[in-house]
Amino acid sequence: MFPDAPRPIIDLSTGINPHAYALQDLPAEAWTRLPEADDVAALEAVAAMAYGARPGQVVAAPGTQLLISLLPRIVPLDTVAIVGPTYAEHAASWRAVGTRVDEVSSIEKVGEQSGVVVCNPNNPDGGRTDPEALRALARNLAARNGLLVVDEAFADLEDGPLSLIPNLPGEGVVVLRSFGKTYGLAGLRLGFAVAGGALAARIRAALGPWAVSGPAIAVGRRALADTLWLEQTRKRLEGDGRRLDVALTGAGMEVIGGTRLFRLAESNVADVTFDQLGRAGIFVRRFADRPSLLRFGIPGDQADWDRLTAALE
């Protein structure tokens, strides 16, 4: 799109933490051996502790995108309501198997659909849904053999109470948690499904053996247990978010939502700003159906901040 833009391109179109978890040397066996069942179980146990889940509820997968694509094949449904606008791959995955998809503006607008998908917090506006309301919805869906999918990809770094996982209903719901966004290691391909025992077993069986790589298991176990890093990162990104707010409002945009990993801004010249940033080598997220909006990820080092500030002036 911008062949003459200066390199390196600063990709602010994603919601990935720019302050990645520091990688350490991995044991050679992580590369040379297939993961043992005990290794996967140890990773899932650490994830369960980090997310507040019970043993047996957590299933490790090579990224939540695979889980989003897999769920419609594991739990076939006639109709699904998706609270949106939100991450488009949810609707695409259900439509790919022939499910009718209805977009609704809130869970209060859900009708007789057999499935519901909610991102909490939502992408791209950061909107939050009360977990107690989600629990009630899950019980209602379970009573008619339906399914609630709650995508908590951006929940790790947010203030609670937010997650549905503590006191998770025993059936009728699955929660997705992303590892790569929070820990800045998207290329590692690691994510988790959290569900009641029966559904968790079906997801695990659908993934098959050795679904998660040895290096991902080793890094995931170490990072998910590092609660100090997570708390320090929350504070660091909170400050980064305030700094980004100042830059965006100073450029005449209105910040209308977001999380600690991104901001959604509105402007009546968003198309001009998108082009201006692109020519400066900075790529942000735009929306074909909502041309006044742009989503900005968090810049990384000082050089990235300087380039963004200069491009916005």
Residues of the chain with CATH 3.40.640.10: 29-225
Please report the beta strands in the chain, taking only residues with DSSP state E, as ranges in sequence order. Answer: 10-11, 58-61, 79-83, 100-104, 115-119, 147-151, 173-178, 191-195, 254-259, 262-266, 282-283, 285-286, 293-297
> At the topology level of CATH, where does 10-18+228-312 sit?
Aspartate Aminotransferase, domain 1 (3.90.1150)
- The average pLDDT across 223-242 equals 98
Its pTM stands at 0.96
pLDDT of residue 131 exceeding 90, the answer is yes
Residues of the chain with CATH 3.90.1150.10: 10-18+228-312
Q: How far apart are CA 103 and CA 80, in angstroms?
A: 8
160 pLDDT more than 90: no
The pLDDT tens digits of the residues spanning 99-109 come to 999 999 999 99
Taken in order 161, 165, 171, 172, the sign of the CA dihedral is: positive
How many helices and strands in the chain, by DSSP H and E?
11, 13
Which residues 6+ apart lie within 8 Å of 208 measured at CB?
A: none
Predicted confidence (pLDDT) at residue 149 exceeds the cutoff of 90? yes
Q: Are strands 10-11 and 79-83 parallel, antiparallel or unpaired?
A: unpaired
Domain at 29-225, CATH from 3.40.640.10, 3.40.50.1820, 3.40.190.10, 2.40.420.20: 3.40.640.10
